Amino acid sequence: MARTREFDVDQAVDAAMEVFWRGGYAATSLQDLTAALGIGSGSLYAAFGSKEKLYARALERYTSRNAAALVAQLESTDEVRPALRAALTAMAEADLCDPDRGCMLVNAATERASDPATAEQVSATLRLVESTITGALERAKARGELSADKNPTELARLLTTFMQGLRVMGQARAGREFVESAVAAAMRGLD
């Protein structure tokens, strides 16, 4: 008879996400994971199959939460510029408060770019971000909040790229003045 799982899988994925987010995939050991999850290695393998599969679930959890927050923020507003500024400022602030942690999506893109599953998860998330920003900018253009000569898709690609660069600069400890100036310049690009 199979044993009943004695831990909450969602809580375990959340805990693993925190460990991978701070340490990265390669530097995170099985011992790090079992200690953070409060389970033995047998339970980890029974529930998730492997460290790599647990990482994939943790990255999925991170990207779905963060992308969902951005989507909700941009789709629930009638004023795109303040919402975009707020999103960019929140990203910058998160990195200023904890530059060692950075952005798990950026960390995944740089550390595990050669892993097809990770690369696809990163790409899918960035496509969602771009699509969401494009939609918001199209609505802004229709309301006259964005000038008629602006291309929402091109601006969305620029802002998607800028967001990832902003996260990298936060990890590089560029400092508040730098990131605030960069956010202001990015917003002027919408003029």
Per the domain annotation, does 127 fall within a domain?
Answer: yes
Q: State the CATH number of the domain containing residue 100.
A: 1.10.357.10
Mean pLDDT score, 67-73: 91
List, for residues 89-132, the tens digit of each pLDDT value: 999 999 999 988 889 999 999 999 999 999 999 999 999 999 99
Residue 173, amino acid:
R
DSSP string, the chain: -PPPP-S-HHHHHHHHHHHHHHHHHHH--HHHHHHHHT--HHHHHHHHSSHHHHHHHHHHHHHHHHHHHHHHHHHT-S-HHHHHHHHHHHHHHHHHH-TTT--HHHHHHHHSTT-HHHHHHHHHHHHHHHHHHHHHHHHHHHTTSS-TT--HHHHHHHHHHHHHHHHHHHHTT--HHHHHHHHHHHHHTT-
Per the domain annotation, does 29 fall within a domain?
Answer: no
Tell me how many domains the chain contains.
1
Q: How confident is the model at residue 5 (pLDDT cuts 50, 70, 90)?
A: low
Half-sphere exposure of 127 (CA within 13 A, CB side): 6
Q: Backbone phi, then psi, for 29, in 5-degree steps?
A: -90, 165
List, for residues 150-159, the tens digit of each pLDDT value: 999 999 999 9
Return the ∠ at Cα 60 (arms to 173 and 66), rounded to 5°.
50
Question: Which residues span the domain enclosing 60?
Answer: 53-188
Written as six digits, the tokens of 75 are 């789709």
Q: Is 79 left (phi over 0), alpha (psi -120 to 50) or beta?
A: beta
Q: Which is higher by pLDDT, 5 or 105?
A: 105
Per the domain annotation, does 148 fall within a domain?
Answer: yes
Per the domain annotation, does 77 fall within a domain?
Answer: yes
Per the domain annotation, does 28 fall within a domain?
Answer: no
The whole model's pTM is what? 0.89
Residue 131, amino acid:
S
**Distance from C-alpha of 133 to C-alpha of 147, rounded to nearest angstrom:** 16
Per the domain annotation, does 130 fall within a domain?
Answer: yes
